[in-house]
Structure 1
Amino acid sequence: MDWDLRTCAHRGHETYAPTEPDLRERVRVRTPAGEAWRCLRCATFVVGPPRGEGPADRAPEVPRGRALRDRRILRLIAVERWLRTVGLLLLAVLVLVFRHRRTDLHRSFLEDFPLLRPFARQIGWNIQDSHIVRWIDDAFSLTPTTLVWVSVGLVAYAALQAVEGAGLWLARRWGEYLSVVATAVFLPLEMYELTERVTALRVVLFLLNLAVVVWLVASKRLFGVRGGAAAQQALHRSESLLTVERAAAGGPPSDPAGGATTSTPGSLSGTGAAR
C-alpha cells in the first residue's frame, strides 16, 4: 500500500511554491489546464495554485515514506493508550461505587456464596483455592480510605496514559520518551507475574509492551541510539521532497539546524511522472 497516496486521498495534496527560482521550476510544470505543482507528500503534480508559498526552509514538514508509516504506528499505539485510559477510569468509578456499597455487597456475598458450592463441585472448580474468591475477600478487607487512594491512583495512571497517547498521536518526541519510560517501568513487574503464573494474556501483554519499547527506542532513535535526535531529524529532512529536489538541482540541502551541508546531488528528475 502506498501510504503517501492514501493520505493525500483523505487529506488532499500538500503543494508548496518555493521562492528560490531554480527550485521553484523543479516542482512546477505548465499544462494545458494551467500550472501544476508537485505534492510534497506523494510527488504527484497537482493542477491549481499551491497551498503555500515562501522560502524552501519554511516549507511545512510533511511526513512521507518511512516517516508517514512510523506516524501511523504511533497513532495505533496512541489509540491503545486511550483505550487503557477509558478502562482505568471505569475501574476507578467501580472502586468508588464498591466503597459506598461495601457493607451491602459483603452481606450479599456471604449469603449467596454457599449457593455456588454445588455448582462448583459439578464443574470441578475448586472454589476454596480460587484466586477470584481470594481477591474478593481481600477487597472486602480494605478500608474506605484505602479504596479512595486506590481510585486516586487509577485516575492518576489514566491521566498518564491520556497524556502519553496525546504525545504519540501528535508525534512529539517527549511523547515517545514518556511512552518508553512509562511502559518499561512495568516490565519487571510483568516478568515477576509470569514467574508466578504463566497465562496467555500475561504473555501477550508482556510481549506487546516489550515490542513497543524496542520499536520506539530503535526506530525513533531515543536515548542517543543510532545517532539520537540529530540523526532522526537529518533522516526526515533527507526524505523531504524539497531537499531531494534541491540536491538534484545542485544546491546544498539545509541541515536541521538551518545551515548548509555538502552532499552528492540526487538523480530525481524534476519532471517525474505522477504516481
Structure 2
Amino acid sequence: MSIDWNRRTCARRGHTTYRPHEAHLEAKLHASTALGAAWRCLRCGDFVLGEPHGSGPAAGAPLVPRGKVLRDLFLLRFLAVERALRGVFVVLAALAVWQFSNSQDAVRQFFDKNLDVVRPIAVHFHYDLDHSPIVDTIRKTFGYKHSTLMVVAALLLAYALVEIVEGVGLWMSKRWAEYLAVVATAAFLPLEIYELTEKVSWLKIATLVINILAVLYIAIGKRLFGLRGGRAAFDEERRSASLLEVETSAGMPTPAHNG
C-alpha cells in the first residue's frame, strides 16, 4: 500500500491554506459550507474550515513540499539522524583515544595484571592468550607514541564534525549538505571496497551497498553536479509540486496559435 505523504504530513503538522488575490484562483481554493468558509490545503488538497493562513498574490504563495518532495525529505532526515548518531559515536571514540594517550602506562599495567588473572581460565579452555590476535592488537596500541594517538584523536574529531554538520544540514534540507553527503560518502567507498578484499563479511557488504545507494539516490534524485538538468530543473520540479502553481497553470488561458 502506497503512503499518502501529503495527508501524512498534514496530520502531523497541520494544513497550509492561502487566499490568492486573483479572483479565479480564489474561487478554486475557496468553498462555502454550512459551518463557514473553507479553504483548500496547498499540500493535501482537502478543504479546511476557518480563515486562510495567508493571503496575497499567487506568486507570493508559500512553496509547500508535496508528494515526492515529502518522501525525499523523509529519507534525507533518516540519513541525517544516521549521520548525526555516527558523529556522536566517533566523538566518543576520539575522547577514548585522547584519554588513553594520557594514561597509556596505567592502562598497560592494568591490562597485563588482569591478563595474568584470566590466563588460567584461558588455559582451561585451551585458548592461547600469548598468541591471540586480539591480545596482540591491544599490545600493539601500547607501542603507539603519544603524538600519534593525539593525531588519531584529532582526525576522529574532524571526521565527527563533518558527520554532525552533514546531519544538521540534511535535516534542514540544505543543498550544500547534500553535496557534502555525496562527496564524503563517496570518498570512503574505495576504503570499504579494499576492506572487502581483506575479509568479506555480510556487514561490510551491506554497508557498502547502502552507501552506494545513498550516493546514487542523493546525486540523481536531487539533481546534483548538473545531473538531470541540475539546480534549475530541481527548482522547477519543486515549484510544479505546489498546488497553487498547478491551479495557476490550469487557470491561465491557452495561447492562440496563428495558423
Q: TM-score, normalised by structure 1?
A: 0.86
Give distance in 1, aligned partners of 2:126 and 2:40.
69
In the alignment, what sits opposite 1:256?
none
CA RMSD of aligned residues (A): 1.9
SS of the residue corresponding to residue 234 of structure 2 reads: helix
In structure 2, what is the equivalent of residue 147 of structure 1? 149
Structure 2's unaligned 5+ residue stretches are none
Report the CA distance shift for 1:40/1:126 in structure 2 as closer, same or farther (over 3 A). Answer: farther
| Cα offsets for 1:159-211 (capped at 9, x unmatched) | 11111011111111111100000100000011001101112221221111111
Task: State the SS of the aligned residue for 1:166.
Answer: helix
Find the counterpart in structure 1 of residue 39 from structure 2: 37
Q: Which AA in structure 2 matches 1:216?
A: I
For the structure 1 residues 249 and 128, does the alpha-carbon distance in structure 2 shift closer, same or farther, using more than 3 Å as the test? farther
- TM-superposed deviation, 1:135: 2.7
Asked if 1:242 corresponds to 2:244, the answer is yes
Aligned to 1:159: 161
Q: 1:222 and 2:240 equivalent?
A: no
Of 78-87 and 152-161, more deviation after overlay is shown by 152-161
Q: Deviations over 1:39-86 (max 9, x none)?
A: 111111101111111122222121110000000000000000011011
> Among 65, 68, 71, which residue is 1:69 paired with?
71
SS at match of 2:19: strand
Unaligned runs of 5+ in 1: 253-261, 263-275
Q: 2:54 aligns with which of 48, 52, 55?
A: 52
Count of equivalent residues: 253
Q: In structure 2, do the counterparts of structure 1 residues 131 and 94 end up closer, same or farther at CA, with 3 Å as the change threshold?
A: same
Aligned position for 1:23: 25
Identity %: 46
- What's the CA shift string for 1:5-59, capped at 9, x where partnerless? 1111111101111122221211111112121111111111101111111122222
> Going by fraction, where is helix more abundant, 1 or 2?
2
Task: Report the CA distance shift for 1:137/1:120 in structure 2 as closer, same or farther (over 3 A).
Answer: same
Which of 196, 199, 206 is the equivalent residue of 2:198? 196
Structure 2 equivalent of residue 178 of structure 1: 180
